[in-house]
Each structure stands twice: as C-alpha cells, then as structure tokens.
Amino acid sequence: MEKLIITAAICGAEVLKEHNPNVPYTIEECVREAKSAYLAGASIIHLHVRWDDGTPTQDKERFRVIMEAIKKECPDVIIQPSTGGAVGMTDDERLQPTELNPEMATLDCGTCNFGGDEVFTNTENTIKYFGKRMIERGIKPELECFDKSMIDMALRLQKKGYISSPMHFDFVMGVNGGISAQIRDFIFLRESIPQDATYTVAGVGKNEFPLAVMAIVDGGHVRVGFEDNVYISKGVLAKSNGELVEKVVRLAKELGREIASPKEAREILGLKPL
C-alpha cells in the first residue's frame, strides 16, 4: 500500500476566528499554521488566503507573499492554492493564484448549494476554462467533488481533453448540499474513479476523522484542517492545524500505514521532483 499523503487545509474561506481563535488570517498566522501541519506530517498545504481582517481574497500578490513565506519555513512542502475562492467571485478572480504556476491547484467539478442563498457555482464552461488553464501551465488539478455527479463531470471532461490523466480527486463529504459522509457513500465515490487515479478524502465537521480512517484503510489519502473542522474531539477546539494532522498520524500508525514525505507525495501524485 502507498504511503499516506496528508493535506492540511489550514484556513478556508468561510471559517472564522469566532469559530476557533487559532484560524489564521495574517501572513504570520498562515505561516504558523502551515509550519505546525508540516512538522506534524502534512506533505500538502491546501491554501486559501485572507486579508488581515479575515476577508477572503484571491489576490495574486497576497497568495505570492504567503506562499513565499510558507516556503521559507517549509522549503519542500507542496502548496496547493484554492481556485474555489469564495461564493460570488468571478472565474478570472478565482484563477489568479494559477498565474504563480503552483505545482497543484484545486479544480471544483460542479455547483453546490452551501446553505441558505449561498450557491457555489461551477458551470461546465467554468470547469473547462479552469482545466484548460491548468494544462497550459502544467498544474496538477485536485478535482474537488462534493457529489457523485461531479466525478462523472470530471471523467467526461477528461475524455474531451480538459483534464489530464492520471487524475487526482478530493472527495469532500458531509458538506451542506453535497453527499453525506456515510460508509456507503464513501464506497460509492471510491468505486467511481479510474483504477489509475488517486484520491484524498476531506470530511466536514464530525466526519473528518471517521472518513480519515476509511481512507487510511482503503489506501487513499487524507485532508484535515480548520477549513473543514475546528475540533480535535467532541466539544474540544483544536489548538492548531498541526494537532489535527498529529491525530491522523496516530491513526495511521495504529492501522499500519506509513506517512509520505513531500518527496514521496510528489512521486505518488506524478509531480516533478524539486
């Protein structure tokens, strides 16, 4: 079985300090949280950025400054900027971090009702546009799928040349408007991707660690972090992203799965070595 790649989604676009005071906004806070996750065993930092007041932004220069600051402390970590941004942003606004030519970036594969009037819109043309940009710039897409239909969309667009193979998926499970986090649904998604594809599971809220265990046992990979969950256990706020990563490392060791270094993660995902 391949070694386990751990991704840390350190801040997201929606979670706030009022949910957990350790959620990072500033450059220094993002570096602190990325470093805590990296030292605990994360090979990938999934990155949203904020202004200092917590407002989400896709500003290219804000991404550049934070990515460079993280790389200074964690030189070999894989930084995976989000092209999801926040609800209401335009396609070109969301794509700004791809202009920095990161190794990886997320590519959302469908539209989702996030709750109330919040609709995270990704039309077929948006997905094609993002996919084409990533092929042109040699960026490995992580295909964010909140439901089975989004896997089907990704597979169809891969056949049309908008997404490169081998594909790497992220099953985002338990989010409002998306697929539930039951074992049945995990198996459904897992059995819907190509044999040569890799996948990561991101469980939202209380689903984070049960889904992590499923992925560890199955040979997949795991995403944790404040973007998805701010608790280390029921009712207990996590002190850092590193603490969440440490819990996954402990679970993996108990289940006999070794943790991938950034170098090994690049090999598994087919990224170019540093």
Residues 6 or more apart in contact with residue 10 via CB below 8 angstroms: 24, 30, 33, 34, 37, 45, 46, 47, 225, 226, 227, 241
What is the residue-wise DSSP string for the chain?
-PPBPEEEE-S-SS--TTT-TT---SHHHHHHHHHHHHHHT-SEEEE-EE-TTS-EE--HHHHHHHHHHHHHHSTTPEEEE-S--STT--HHHHTGGGGG--SEEEEE-S-EEEETTEEE---HHHHHHHHHHHHHHTPEEEEEESSHHHHHHHHHHHHTTSS-SS-EEEEEES-TTS----HHHHHHHHTTS-TT-EEEEEE-GGGHHHHHHHHHHHT-EEEESTTT--EEETTEE-S-HHHHHHHHHHHHHHTT-PBPPHHHHHHHHTPPP-
Residues 6 or more apart in contact with residue 203 via CB below 8 angstroms: 173, 174, 181, 209, 210, 211, 212, 228, 229
Q: Which fold has domain 6-269?
A: TIM Barrel (3.20.20)
Whether 51 and 62 have beta carbons less than 8 Å apart is answered as yes
Tell me the sheet residues that pair with 221: 200
What local confidence, expressed as pLDDT, does residue 88 receive?
86
Cα 123 to the chain's mean position, in Å? 20
pTM over 0.95: yes
What local confidence, expressed as pLDDT, does residue 138 receive?
97
* CA 154 – CA 175 distance, rounded (Å): 19
Task: Quote the longest CA-to-CA distance of the chain.
Answer: 47
Give the CB-side neighbour count of residue 274, counting CA atoms within 13 A.
Answer: 13
Tokens of 13: 């676009």
What local confidence, expressed as pLDDT, does residue 171 receive?
98
122, 84, 80: which is closest to 101 by C-alpha? 80
- pLDDT, one tens digit for every residue, the chain (274 residues): 899 999 999 999 999 999 999 999 999 999 999 999 999 999 999 999 999 999 999 999 999 999 999 999 999 999 999 999 888 899 999 999 999 999 999 999 999 998 899 899 999 999 999 999 999 999 999 999 999 999 999 999 999 999 999 999 999 999 999 999 999 999 999 999 999 999 999 999 999 999 999 999 999 999 999 999 999 999 999 999 999 999 999 999 999 999 999 999 999 999 999 8
Give the CB-side neighbour count of residue 99, counting CA atoms within 13 A.
Answer: 12
